[in-house]
Amino acid sequence: MDITCYRSQEIRRETRLLPATTYNLACQLITRCTTEHLFVPIRSMQYLAILDKKEFVFIDGERKCWVDISWQNFQTQDRTSLDQPVAYEVVYYREDQEELMLRLQKEFPSALQILANKAIIKSPAQIIPFPVINT
pLDDT (average), residues 101-128: 80
Would you say residue 121 has pLDDT above 80? no
Tell me, yes or no, whether 130 lies in a domain: no
Would you say residue 122 has pLDDT above 60? no
Task: Note the pTM of the prediction, 2 decimals.
Answer: 0.83
The model's pLDDT over 9-45, given as tens digits with 9 standing for 90+, comes to: 999 999 999 999 999 999 999 988 888 889 999 999 9
Tell me, yes or no, whether 127 lies in a domain: no
* Angle, alpha carbons 63-61-57 (nearest 5°): 85
Q: Which domain holds residue 59?
A: 12-117
Quick check: 71 and 90 in contact, CB under 8 A? yes
pLDDT at 63: 83
Tell me, yes or no, whether 28 lies in a domain: yes
Tell me, yes or no, whether 7 lies in a domain: no
Would you say residue 70 has pLDDT above 60? yes
pLDDT at 126: 58
C-alpha 86/C-alpha 56 separation (Å) is 13
Tell me, yes or no, whether 126 lies in a domain: no
pLDDT at 59: 94
Establish how many alpha carbons lie within 13 A of residue 66's alpha carbon, considering only the half-sphere containing its beta carbon: 10
Tell me, yes or no, whether 3 lies in a domain: no
Tell me, yes or no, whether 71 lies in a domain: yes
C-alpha 22/C-alpha 110 separation (Å) is 9
* Angle, alpha carbons 83-85-91 (nearest 5°): 150
pLDDT at 128: 59
The domain total for the chain is 1
pLDDT at 65: 85
Would you say residue 124 has pLDDT above 60? no
Task: Give the CATH number for residue 72.
Answer: 3.30.530
pLDDT (average), residues 88-112: 94
pLDDT at 6: 87
